[in-house]
Structure 1
Amino acid sequence: MKISNCPICGLPWSETVDEEEVRYSYWICECCGCEYGNDDNPAYRENWLKQGAPWFDPKQRPSSWNLEEQLRHIIPDWNAR
């Protein structure tokens, strides 16, 4: 399956990539800080949200950022796939 958003926080990416590439990439999301292949699971998301959804790289946060809109693009059962 091709995906174009962080499966944990929903941050849109500049390009669409294969799900398997993300799972084993060890890329780090600039928004939630998830390291794919290591942290990517619903518990990580829950903890990130409990902390107030802080940006891992605050300089990358758009001024028009909307958490609720972004969360519409998560993959709720990401670790179960």
Structure 2
Amino acid sequence: MEMWYCRVCGLDYDVSPWGEDGHTPDYTCCACCGAQFGIDDYNVVTAQLFRATWLTEGAPWFYANLKPSGWQLAAQLPQIPLAYQ
């Protein structure tokens, strides 16, 4: 199964919120950083700005109840697609 990674925080997903064509966002929010797909990750600049704010705020989980035990931010950030780093 191919994984998709949030353009803002690198959280892995089984299915892309950008649709099968990679261009049609579903406008849901990342469970980790809260970025709204299609808005906050629309391009490199918006993704980088959202990430900077999220990190400044301490990288809180948007859906805290979904945060895995032992979660490591440093392990997740490298999963951000290169084009959006």
Instruction: Report how far residue 16 of structure 1 moved.
Output: 4.3
Identify unmatched segments of 5+ residues in structure 2: 42-46
From the superposition, tell whether residues 61 and 24 of structure 1 become closer, same or farther in structure 2 (CA, over 3 Å): same
Corresponding residue for residue 33 of structure 1: 34
Distance 1:35 1:45 in 2: 12
Question: How many positions carry a matched residue from both structures?
Answer: 75
What amino acid is aligned across from residue 60 of structure 1 in structure 2?
A: L
Distance 1:56 1:19 in 2: 26
Instruction: Give the structure with the larger strand fraction.
Output: 1
What amino acid is aligned across from residue 68 of structure 2 in structure 1?
A: P
Candidates 69, 74, 78, aligned match of 2:80: 74
Distance 2:56 2:21 in 1: 26
Aligned-residue sequence identity (percent) comes to 36
Corresponding residue for residue 64 of structure 1: 70
Instruction: Report how far residue 37 of structure 1 moved.
Output: 0.9
Corresponding residue for residue 50 of structure 1: 56
Q: What's the TM-score once normalised by structure 1's chain length?
A: 0.79
Q: What's the TM-score once normalised by structure 2's chain length?
A: 0.75
Identify unmatched segments of 5+ residues in structure 1: none
Consecutive aligned runs of 4 or more in structure 1 exceeding 4 Å deviation: none
Distance 1:73 1:19 in 2: 21
Cα RMSD (Å) of the superposition?
2.0
Corresponding residue for residue 11 of structure 1: 11
From the superposition, tell whether residues 19 and 9 of structure 1 become closer, same or farther in structure 2 (CA, over 3 Å): farther
